[in-house]
A and B are shown apart, each in its own frame.
Chain A
Amino acid sequence: NAGVTQTPKFQVLKTGQSMTLQCAQDMNHNSMYWYRQDPGMGLRLIYYSASEGTTDKGEVPNGYNVSRLNKREFSLRLESAAPSQTSVYFCASRKTGASSGNTIYFGEGSWLTVV
């Protein structure tokens, strides 16, 4: 099972360049998420999508845009990359419903460096 697949795994950008991180899940999950992970900061939610066609801001949305293209795919775009966006990015998905106890599944991460 592929689970959650995100690309690219590694990327180096120059300040001001744009790029899109792609994410797809094959588990028929309603909800998808983008997190960033920084040393000493844990995981911080950038954006999430509770269902196809909806997106909501998380804790640190500035400098990012997202698109929930369909139920499977949720992309994260950096329009004008800044060194502060150097981080490891994780896409995740989860089946949602009446219970808040459903497991969230993560991709393997995308290492982004902005120089």
Chain B
Amino acid sequence: GNSVTQMEGPVTLSEEAFLTINCTYTATGYPSLFWYVQYPGEGLQLLLKATKADDKGSNKGFEATYRKETTSFHLEKGSVQVSDSAVYFCALSHRDDKIIFGKGTRLHILP
């Protein structure tokens, strides 16, 4: 079945550091891929997405590229801020309308 695996946290970085959160998936065909972010006490909200191979999603300085050959969708940001502290979820959506989420990666940014 479809699945998403993302790096376990927590990840702790200093402000202005480079961020990578790894995400790989298992699915037949060509799913759509997403990154969602959850701030404390809130629901999840879309950060970025990509719907076909080699697409790059971007938002708020975050980027992720849909790599079919490595079944990956790693999240990157060149210079993180304290306000980026949150939990990040990688997810995929396929033909059966279910959306499968990874277990989440908690990110702490130190000033």
Inter-subunit contact A31/B103 (CB<8 Å): no
Count residues of chain A with CB under 8 A from any CB of chain B.
26
Q: What total count of A-B pairs have CB within 8 Å?
A: 59
Q: Mark A95-112, 1 if CB is under 8 A from B, else 0.
A: 010011111101111000
Query: Does A45 reach chain B (CB closer than 8 Å)?
Result: yes
Inter-subunit contact B101/A100 (CB<8 Å): no
Inter-subunit contact B49/A103 (CB<8 Å): yes
CB-CB under 8 A from B102, the residues of chain A are 42
CB-CB under 8 A from B56, the residues of chain A are none
- Chain B, Cβ-Cβ closest to A43: B101
CB-CB under 8 A from A107, the residues of chain B are 43
Query: Beyond A42-B102, A43-B89, is A96–B45 a contact (Cβ under 8 Å)?
Result: no
- Indicate the member of B42, B51, B93, B94 with the most A CB atoms within 10 Å: B93
Query: Beyond A40-B103, A106-B45, is A99–B32 a contact (Cβ under 8 Å)?
Result: yes
Name A residues whose Cβ lies closer than 8 Å to a Cβ of B.
4, 31, 33, 35, 40-43, 45, 48, 50, 58, 90, 92, 94, 96, 99-104, 106-109
